Chain A
């Protein structure tokens, strides 16, 4: 703060003092002006806490509401940092809490509860207790929120004071909807907090909130609530588990008209209720999709761009679950000139997702127009979208032509994007090599400056050099600039490409190869050096041996690895209508970084790739994150000290299954492109992940003779393998259950976090299903739920039947297992318990 400001502040202080006790006519106006000045300083971040005494003296006794409110605002901002002086305010706040005017009572109570000073809690309890029973609803709304504020300040006093039962009473009986809504908010937060920490008298409070009685009370008067309160109640209803199918239809009929609401938050909240209620009824679920389509599209068209973005993010999630649903509506996702780039990017992804046989031609034509767009970012994304659609196997023929036409546009960034895509395409559809390579040969390498594009071009020259007459000479001139080539990825690419071309056109290339190997072995970069040396030694063993390692037969990549597991996607679906959908991450991934105290932690989580999370769009970035890194993020964040070890472990494993993104470990492979596009999944094992795993593996076993690279033996198979998706009809289950004796009975306990998730049994069912254990039936009332599961031995020899009884109040899980093959009970129970514990 400069001295000028300091001067102003002390002047303010003096003026405030002067008017403090004054009741002269006009003094209220003068005080208002002074207070305004203080608040305006506060707004721009100047610390005016030094005026605390003067502010209280100046307003304590005033009856002017405008002045009072400004004083309250000031108090709530600075009381916490002036806890000693805050005591001075208690007197008049308490007095105001008993004022005749309900508005003053409400204002005073709100301020009193917002002071956030721990040692003043005792003064709060009395007024709060009175306010809950106040005759005026305005005061009661403040009281409901006041209890929540008290809970954060002093949970113990809150729980002793019988405030929670009072809130429950308000929720069930208060005539004013906003009082009810605030009671719901307060209870939900208190219950969630205690369930999360696993302690407190209301650990299982949520069960009460989700009981039929409460949900029906709220839903029956849903129209009385403000649109915001409706959203909160609908979010609660989405977690409700109906006891009989009729309920589902009752609730949906009741809420049907909410889908016509102009507020997108209400529509999305209703959508969530519909989707979650019908999870187990496939055909009704499908009808729900049909029903919500038009309202959601309307929200995108008529809302502000920000809301269009929020709704589009949800549509994107729905489309990945039901791609056919929007296939006919693809024109709705065409970009508009006026759309901001974050909307355009999402729309491009929607177009990619809905593309199918019928509409691919139209979509690709439209995308090609965007490629000529002045907006470079969108032009690039459009080219990528075209490539992405080609990889989805629709109308590859037409798209390859289109991609090659992009090269004619003679625009460097378009050329760059196109080269990378053509490379990916060739890995999946080698049969297109001939037509692509003819065009690629014509691309002037001097016009390509971006690193991934250059790497792609070099790779194609090496891989298809036999068909490009100039290939050796083009490579030669690229080698000329070795010293200027900053990217080691490109230098590694050059090494491999020249070596591969040598096997095809030895006469033209052997001098070039010699030169490159020399440059490589003298290179400052360790990876480049190592690879050059490796090639050199391999070649010493004979060209045949070297070729088998450097340029093995490749199989087309059938499917590029998904960047996200289906489990993560299900989690995001569970968290419909939350930020998870926008970020495309389950909440635990972005909520984990929560710091309870401001500025406490400076240790950055080493595994987190980026501090900034954004929704949508950035698929280029996501693609570059390899499976290895993804898993890192998913794993519980390692502490700073052991971060290094935890980081390396999955990496090592990953080399076996698919090369990591940064290309360090797998850089010796013959197909280095496995490194840049995420791990490829090949159609069968031996050549999986290109030459990456095989090549490295082979080298580890000595450079020796045998050619075909064997994959790393799989980890020791568990004694028992289960059928991933067992099938068993209910009748057979019942019969078997009746016939078989109990093989084993076990007692487990659930962690509180898992219990919290159990509010929707679907989460557990999905989790078990992902462990090859399917559900036959489930039911029960809180706190006791009963599940019947079954699984089948992989050799189809027999079934395992499970009865699970969960008591959410006690956190216990009692299991009875019956097996058709008694000797397998033991290993099965082991698998089952592991699955259960990991929930």
Chain B
């Protein structure tokens, strides 16, 4: 059970604050923020759960905002953290987007929601659907064009959790300017890939964590059938690594609303989608897959005080896809004094940045088409004449990227069927794929 709930801005301002039980004194928001900000002298991220003077603080960070609960009881931490995450999502469903600005504009609406979501510290209704009946404030939507969404707050975002490119910024309760609600449903297959290449270029460890996320604006929750690859195998039922070409998931879990009656037969999920955004299915795959990028680093001495680091990156995904915002981070030896970066001739949309304090070169390629290659030469001036550890001190190279309309696991939605209410009923259906780098590391 929760005693207090509050939402803090990245600077620690209280945006929302609600007391449910009155057994924890006021002022906890300040105590909490001080702890989080100066955890171990600001060196580390504060853990999501801690106890100060008998008060337990649990929090999650979403889009830079801190969602916090306090309690004196020995609660289930997973329960409270899931609930906090859910509250964030409901607010997003109602406000269209989740940001400090939209929360401030809609704070009365948020209080209204909180009244129904929690009573006496216990979770009550958390379905966007059923909450509609009890909420009367109209959401005030921010102008999407002028969104400062990716401004200051975005650096606090959890990498890879929410996808600005695929997020729909429309409230589930508001109407179109035309006065008519647009019937549509979005299905996003979002995959986060983690790959570690060892110094000889072999894949040492790899995993895909995926989510099939649905966002429904359909009225009357019609039944939806979502068919996945027929050759999809789960867990050890097929033993070993599975046949070639087969998609083999290690494990998966499903949203409450999903019925699995025919899943074992034809890999079809049946559900009546609740309003708003929710994960239909989460899955995890360690089967071998083709990594979308390969990095070829090379380090050599180029004179008594000089060295050169050459990094070649090859996109190994189909040429009809384009990766966005590819960032390659190259840690350089600690004796590095000066750096000059040499891009390939005719490079467009590339930039480099040397971070003096951490001796890190950050190389950004805005658009990176599949089946192509880019090279960066970094010339270093070293403090010492000879450095035996040159190679050891360089790297590991880390990459982040987003590739829309591509997924590494080859998990596909074969079809998305909406049970028709009438002949004229033909809602819009969107199926989108996107792959993100979660942890994409190349060692030297």
A residues near B (Cβ < 8 Å) are: 36, 39-40, 42-45, 65-66, 69-70, 72-73, 77, 80, 103, 110, 116, 141-142, 145, 148-149, 178, 181-182, 185, 189, 226-229, 231-232, 235, 260-265, 267-269, 294-295, 297-299, 301-307, 309-311, 313, 331, 334, 336-342, 369, 372, 374, 376-377, 408-411, 575, 577-583, 587, 590-591, 593-595, 598-599, 611-617
* Bound CA–CA A268/B82 (angstroms): 12
Partner among B44, B72, B81 whose Cβ is within 8 Å of the Cβ of A377: B44
Interfacial residues of chain B within 14-61, with CB under 8 A of chain A in the complex:
14-17, 19, 22, 24-26, 35, 40, 43-54, 56, 59-61
* Bound CA–CA A88/B302 (angstroms): 85
* Bound CA–CA A149/B119 (angstroms): 10
Sample (8) of A-B pairs whose CB atoms are under 8 Å apart: A178-B124, A260-B253, A302-B211, A337-B398, A338-B159, A583-B49, A590-B54, A598-B24
B75 is an interface residue with CB less than 8 A from chain A: yes
Partner among A232, A269, A582 whose Cβ is within 8 Å of the Cβ of B49: A582
B362 is an interface residue with CB less than 8 A from chain A: no
* Bound CA–CA A155/B24 (angstroms): 20
Contacts of B13 in A (CB 8 A): 44
Partner among B111, B137, B255, B284 whose Cβ is within 8 Å of the Cβ of A73: B111
**Is the CB–CB distance between A613 and B50 below 8 Å?**
yes
Contacts of A261 in B (CB 8 A): 253-254, 256
Report B274 CB to chain A, min CB distance, Å. Answer: 12
Chain B interface residue count: which class? Answer: 35 or more
B372 is an interface residue with CB less than 8 A from chain A: no
B207 is an interface residue with CB less than 8 A from chain A: yes
**Is the CB–CB distance between B49 and A376 below 8 Å?**
no
Contacts of B281 in A (CB 8 A): 262
With contact pairs A69-B115, A226-B126 given, residues A372 and B211 touching in the complex (Cβ less than 8 Å): no
B426 is an interface residue with CB less than 8 A from chain A: no
B318 is an interface residue with CB less than 8 A from chain A: no
* Bound CA–CA A657/B334 (angstroms): 47
**Is the CB–CB distance between B120 and A594 below 8 Å?**
no
Report A384 CB to chain B, min CB distance, Å. Answer: 15
1/0 contact trace for B257-286 toward A, CB 8 Å?
Answer: 000000000000000000000010111101
Closest residue to B61 on the A side, CB-wise? A306
**Is the CB–CB distance between A182 and B16 below 8 Å?**
no
* Bound CA–CA A594/B56 (angstroms): 11
With contact pairs A372-B393, A615-B49 given, residues A338 and B284 touching in the complex (Cβ less than 8 Å): no
B369 is an interface residue with CB less than 8 A from chain A: no
**Is the CB–CB distance between A228 and B108 below 8 Å?**
no
Binds A, one of B142-150, B176-184, B343-351, B436-444: B436-444
Report A199 CB to chain B, min CB distance, Å. Answer: 20
**Is the CB–CB distance between A73 and B252 below 8 Å?**
no
Residue from the set A260, A306, A376, A612 with the largest chain B CB neighbour count within 10 Å: A306
Contacts of A181 in B (CB 8 A): 122
**Is the CB–CB distance between A307 and B82 below 8 Å?**
yes
With contact pairs A77-B19, A297-B284 given, residues A265 and B76 touching in the complex (Cβ less than 8 Å): yes
Report B66 CB to chain A, min CB distance, Å. Answer: 11
Report A105 CB to chain B, min CB distance, Å. Answer: 13
Report B162 CB to chain A, min CB distance, Å. Answer: 10
* Bound CA–CA A306/B86 (angstroms): 13
B residues near A (Cβ < 8 Å) are: 1, 13-17, 19, 22, 24-26, 35, 40, 43-54, 56, 59-61, 72, 74-79, 81-83, 85, 107-108, 111-112, 115, 119-120, 122-127, 133-134, 136-137, 158-161, 194, 196, 205, 207, 209-211, 235, 250-256, 279, 281-284, 286, 331, 334, 358, 360, 389, 392-393, 396, 398, 438-441, 443
**Is the CB–CB distance between A228 and B122 below 8 Å?**
yes
Contacts of B25 in A (CB 8 A): 598-599
Report B340 CB to chain A, min CB distance, Å. Answer: 22
Partner among A39, A302, A594 whose Cβ is within 8 Å of the Cβ of B282: A302
9 closest residue pairs by CB, A with B: A336-B439, A598-B25, A228-B123, A593-B54, A613-B51, A265-B79, A306-B48, A337-B439, A302-B282
With contact pairs A69-B136, A342-B44 given, residues A310 and B49 touching in the complex (Cβ less than 8 Å): yes
**Is the CB–CB distance between B282 and A262 below 8 Å?**
yes
**Is the CB–CB distance between B251 and A295 below 8 Å?**
yes
Beyond A182-B119, A372-B392, A615-B49, 15 additional pairs, beta carbon < 8 A: A36-B108, A141-B119, A149-B120, A262-B282, A265-B82, A294-B250, A298-B251, A306-B48, A307-B78, A331-B286, A338-B439, A342-B44, A577-B76, A598-B25, A615-B50
Contacts of B137 in A (CB 8 A): 66
With contact pairs A77-B19, A579-B77 given, residues A298 and B252 touching in the complex (Cβ less than 8 Å): yes
Partner among A227, A231, A309 whose Cβ is within 8 Å of the Cβ of B47: A309
Closest residue to B360 on the A side, CB-wise? A374
**Is the CB–CB distance between B54 and A342 below 8 Å?**
no
Contacts of B77 in A (CB 8 A): 310, 313, 578-579, 581-582
Closest residue to B395 on the A side, CB-wise? A372
Partner among A228, A299, A340, A593 whose Cβ is within 8 Å of the Cβ of B53: A593
Residue from the set B77, B112, B136 with the largest chain A CB neighbour count within 10 Å: B77
Contacts of B75 in A (CB 8 A): 578-579
**Is the CB–CB distance between A310 and B48 below 8 Å?**
yes
Contacts of B134 in A (CB 8 A): 103
Closest residue to B194 on the A side, CB-wise? A336
**Is the CB–CB distance between A265 and B158 below 8 Å?**
no
**Is the CB–CB distance between B76 and A231 below 8 Å?**
yes
Report A567 CB to chain B, min CB distance, Å. Answer: 18
* Bound CA–CA A143/B331 (angstroms): 61
**Is the CB–CB distance between B207 and A591 below 8 Å?**
no
Contacts of B46 in A (CB 8 A): 342
Partner among B26, B51, B85, B286 whose Cβ is within 8 Å of the Cβ of A579: B51
Closest residue to B444 on the A side, CB-wise? A372
**Is the CB–CB distance between A310 and B81 below 8 Å?**
yes
Report A205 CB to chain B, min CB distance, Å. Answer: 18
